[in-house]
Amino acid sequence: MDKIVSLCKRRGFVFPSSEIYGGFASIYDFGPYGVELANNIKKAWWQYMVQEREDIVGLDSAIFMHPKIWEASGHVAGFSDPLVECKKCHARLRADHLLEDIGVFADEKMGEEEINKIFDEHKNKAKCPHCGQQDFTPIRKFNLLVKSNLGNFTDDWNKEPCYLRGETCQGIYVNYKNVLNSTRVKIPFGIAQIGKAFRNEITARQFIFRTREFEQMEMQYFTHPNEEMKEYEKLKNFRWQYYIERLGLKKENLRWSKHENLVFYAKEAYDIEYRFPFGFKELEGVHARSNYDLTQHAKFSGEDLSYRDPKTGEKYIPHIIESSVGVGRTFLAIITDAYTEEEVNGETRVVLKIKKDLSPIKVAVFPLLKNKPALVDKAREIFNDLKGDFMCEFDDNGNIGKRYRRQDEIGTPFCVTVDFDTIEKDNTVTVRDRDTMEQERVLMGDLKQYLKEKLA
Ligand code: ATP
């Protein structure tokens, strides 16, 4: 993990937020290469979930919504984690995570009394991860919703706050009728969106795995009640294939994990877990949610949210299955999967073997020497010709070995070098492959097509 965090900082993928002010807990910024990777992740997800699916449409709902939505969804009353404090160093910790570390099952869905009982039985084995002491306060449930004073100009806005959304899917549920009435979708169909979510996470110490501001990619699929579980199996399969085929993650680093303790309305819930450097942890949730969400919003809003089948005339509240994943967790899984150290001529080469279409930079262009204007001019000409088709980088800093090292560490699939043969002899450039490190001479006139084929 330390190596990954260090690479992300050193090479401009991820920066701690507000660093010059000493940082801001559990918030991170994406740097120049990070934003490219994050954008590529979102693009790949959108293409797979929306562009290539006739039955799924997109949405971009606002972060702020009517506060009643969070009452209807159950978040105001029940979106909480079990908080415990170390009496010695005053670190605030998640009791279910402390219990998990000593092999005892507990989760955030348990009530205060239930989890306190389990904790009391086992707390002599639990240790504070910060100071090692074993003295804890009783557990209390801490609500994760982040409050704001948006639109409230009084001093006691806290009594009637407006929430920053804790998940993006509520924006989908409340727009379900709008989508039905404005497009040609028919059940079964899905609505997908990518957007920011906010949670007052208690312990957030796993880099970008758990942050207080993060981005979710969610798809909610509306089904006939009798078809819910059939569609659920299809969705599980579809999402699994995405990680293997689209993101190129190694199969052995992924697994399914079934929720043993289901919320009362859920039919079934599985998570796709990834083997992060700190163990297998949730990457995505794929859940069958019954008709709970639309029933709740119908009740709280007074709107009829039922669906009438245009062929049979049957009227019912659709059942929803969902796929929900964070951009940050996908990012961390991709970097973890791709991080490779290789021994080359007695030295260690660090290379990010990211799937080519996800790489932040596709092609780096170098003149062999910085102080030879003819080489620099030719390299610039090539860079200018390629930059409209691929995310490219021009680099004439340091020696060629250092430039390769840098590009390997950010996962650039191809490096193009202009040397004396290019300008004096045969108009060819060398193209070096990130994974094999083999170099090929390619005619300048064929270069763009060559790269297009290799990157396809
Ligand atoms: P966890 O149990 O790890 O807290 P969760 O079950 O609360 O996750 P969901 O509410 O199901 O997570 O959210 C769906 C997805 O959103 C998660 O699978 C994860 O990829 C992402 N996600 C949730 N919370 C965070 C967070 N604090 N930081 C980054 N990503 C998150």
- Ligand 1 closest atom vs CA 81: 4
135-151: pLDDT as tens digits: 999 999 999 999 999 99
Instruction: Answer with the residue of higher pLDDT: 353 or 130.
Output: 353
- For atom 4 of ligand 1, the residue with the nearest CA is 210
The percentage of the chain sitting over the pLDDT mark of 70, rounded to a whole number, equals 100
CA of 176 from ligand 1 middle (Å) equals 23
296-339: pLDDT as tens digits: 999 999 999 999 999 999 999 999 999 999 999 999 999 999 99
The finding on whether 34 has its CB within 6 A of some atom of ligand 1 is no
Q: What is the mean pLDDT of residues 237-261?
A: 97
Strands 414-418 and 439-443: unpaired
Strands 14-16 and 28-30: antiparallel
Check whether 101 has a pLDDT greater than 90.
Answer: no
What residue type is assigned to position 391 of the chain?
Answer: M
- For atom 12 of ligand 1, the residue with the nearest CA is 285
Contacts 24+ apart (CB under 8 A), 30-34: 32/360, 33/360, 33/361, 33/410, 34/8, 34/331, 34/360
CA of 326 from ligand 1 middle (Å) equals 7
Give the pLDDT band (50/70/90) at residue 112.
Answer: confident
- pLDDT value, residue 204: 56
CA of 353 from ligand 1 middle (Å) equals 26
Instruction: Answer with the residue of higher pLDDT: 236 or 109.
Output: 236
40-88: pLDDT as tens digits: 999 999 999 999 999 999 999 999 999 999 999 999 998 999 999 999 9
CA of 437 from ligand 1 middle (Å) equals 38
Enter the tokens of residue 191.
């609505």
The finding on whether 236 has its CB within 6 A of some atom of ligand 1 is no
Spatial separation of the C-alpha atoms in residues 383 and 364, rounded to whole Å = 8
Enumerate domains of the chain plus CATH numbers.
Answer: 2-69+155-335 (3.30.930.10), 80-143 (3.30.40.230), 361-455 (3.40.50.800)
Q: How far is CA 221 from the centre of its chain?
A: 20
Length of the chain: 456
Spatial separation of the C-alpha atoms in residues 226 and 228, rounded to whole Å = 6
Judged on CB neighbours under 10 Å (0-12, 13-18, 19+), 106 is: buried
Enter the tokens of residue 314.
């049957």
The finding on whether 357 has its CB within 6 A of some atom of ligand 1 is no
Spatial separation of the C-alpha atoms in residues 78 and 89, rounded to whole Å = 28
Check whether 203 has a pLDDT greater than 80.
Answer: no
Q: Could you tell which of 100, 239, 329 is best to mutate to test the pocket of ligand 1, judged by most ligand atoms within 8 Å of the CB? A: 329
Beta bridge partners of 352: 339
The finding on whether 213 has its CB within 6 A of some atom of ligand 1 is no
CA of 209 from ligand 1 middle (Å) equals 9
401-446: pLDDT as tens digits: 999 999 999 999 999 999 999 999 999 999 999 999 999 999 999 9
HSE (side-chain half, CA atoms, 13 Å) at 341? 6
- pLDDT value, residue 105: 86
- Ligand 1 closest atom vs CA 204: 27
The finding on whether 331 has its CB within 6 A of some atom of ligand 1 is no
- For atom 28 of ligand 1, the residue with the nearest CA is 210
Helices (H), 18-111: 32-46, 68-72, 75-78, 95-101
Q: Could you tell which of 249, 324, 330 is best to mutate to test the pocket of ligand 1, judged by most ligand atoms within 8 Å of the CB? A: 324
CA distances (Å), origin 363, targets 94, 96, 378, 424, 435? 44, 46, 16, 24, 14
Backbone angles phi, psi at 2, to 5 degrees: -60, -40
The finding on whether 284 has its CB within 6 A of some atom of ligand 1 is yes
The finding on whether 285 has its CB within 6 A of some atom of ligand 1 is yes
- For atom 18 of ligand 1, the residue with the nearest CA is 284
The finding on whether 199 has its CB within 6 A of some atom of ligand 1 is yes
CA of 8 from ligand 1 middle (Å) equals 21
Question: How large is the greatest C-alpha to C-alpha distance in the chain, in angstroms?
Answer: 80
